[in-house]
Structure 1
Amino acid sequence: MEIEMKIRGLMMDPVTNMPIVVLKDVAGDTVLPIWVGIFEANAIALEIEKTATPRPMTHDLLRDTIRGLNAQVDKIVVQELKDDTFYAVIWMRQDGEVVTIDARPSDALALALRADAPIYVHREVLKNARLSTADAQNVTAEQMRQWLEGLNDDEMGRYKM
């Protein structure tokens, strides 16, 4: 089962100094942190802030290519967590045919923002991510959930949604 999520914001991990995209369940309080690279976080931040660039960025080019081929992005799904790595799939449609493409979650999220496509996460991924995060940081899943849910806009940085 897929759970619809929205990007709650971007923040920096105080331990690793790596960007985190925080996804939040649209119908509840479930949150999912996904650590991403600096460049990927920048691509997401540019779209969140609706910052125009003088030339198309990679995700803009991908969106424009999809449109140019008379296709559309229906949704992106974070569908697996394996060995502490998230896996996503971009679901597209062209001439009535469904096409799925494997993608890094950060790229899929950046494209979803640009294509105004919904973001989903498999329920099993949410369950496994809570367990993995709790084990890795020696905190309980409930403590991690409460910390992420309790973040205020200042803690989320300027990239709040």
Structure 2
Amino acid sequence: MDHTAQVEGIAVGVGPDGAGVPAVVLAARDEYLPIFVTQDQARAIQLGLSGEPFERPLTHDLLVDVVTEFGGAIDGVRIDDLSEGTFFAKLDIVRYVEGESEKFVFDARPSDAVAVAVRADCGITVSDTVLDAAGRPPSEVDFDPEDGGQGGPGGPHLDDPDEGDWSGFR
């Protein structure tokens, strides 16, 4: 069984090479794991981090509400594989019926899994194998996980520590 590291912070920013590609950055095991996402995915994660309510539920909010309404809970998210540059995740759900728990595991895109996790306030883990393959040292990503708050697209940059503000690290 692969060992895992608990994610201690999440930020949304702009990826390296000046391409303006959004990335969600997960901090685990004294490393930062950038996962490149679409603008929509970055916005969904950012909105979840901000905690700002919407008049109508967004997709990830709806999923959490439906799971809860049917007696379940989002138990955790695992970023557990990396193949040919693509990350893979699992969404762990527990349903309680008459005092008994039943566990379910669903394959998910990491961006969707993280967007659900920030709304459900559940833990996120990353396999050591994934961190070993794609993690970056803190010197390559400029932010302070102690600052709190929310990051934003267009803020932090992975390739230029002098640009942006990683105060959004949660």
Superposed CA RMSD? 1.8
Gaps of 5+ in 2: 148-155, 157-163
CA distance in 2, matches of 1:40, 1:7: 17
The answer to whether structure 1 residue 2 and structure 2 residue 11 are counterparts is no
- Per the TM alignment, residue 74 of structure 1 is displaced from its structure 2 partner at its CA by 0.9
One-letter code of the match for 2:85?
Answer: D
Higher percent of residues as helix: 1
Aligned to 2:121: 116
Tell me the alpha carbon deviations over residues 109-159 of structure 1, each in whole angstroms, 9 at most, x when there is no partner: 0100111100000000111114xxxxxxxxxx6xx54212x3357624563
Aligned to 1:44: 45
Structure number with greater CO (CA < 8 Å, separation at least 6) is 2
Match for residue 160 of structure 1 among 130, 146, 169: 169
Aligned to 2:64: 63
Normalising by structure 1, what TM-score? Answer: 0.83
Aligned to 1:16: 19
CA distance in 1, matches of 2:77, 2:165: 23
Contact 2:77 2:123 in 1 (8 A): yes
Contact 1:45 1:159 in 2 (8 A): no
One-letter code of the match for 2:11?
Answer: G
Aligned to 2:112: 107
Contact 2:45 2:115 in 1 (8 A): yes
Aligned residues: 146
The answer to whether structure 1 residue 32 and structure 2 residue 33 are counterparts is yes
Identity within the alignment, % = 32
Q: Classify the secondary structure of the residue corresponding to 1:94.
A: strand
Aligned to 1:151: 143
Q: Classify the secondary structure of the residue corresponding to 2:9.
A: strand
Tell me the alpha carbon deviations over residues 58-103 of structure 1, each in whole angstroms, 9 at most, x when there is no partner: 0000000100110111110000000100000001111311100000
- Per the TM alignment, residue 50 of structure 1 is displaced from its structure 2 partner at its CA by 1.3
One-letter code of the match for 1:108?
Answer: A
Task: Choose 104-113 or 89-98, whichever is displaced more.
Answer: 89-98
Normalising by structure 2, what TM-score? Answer: 0.79
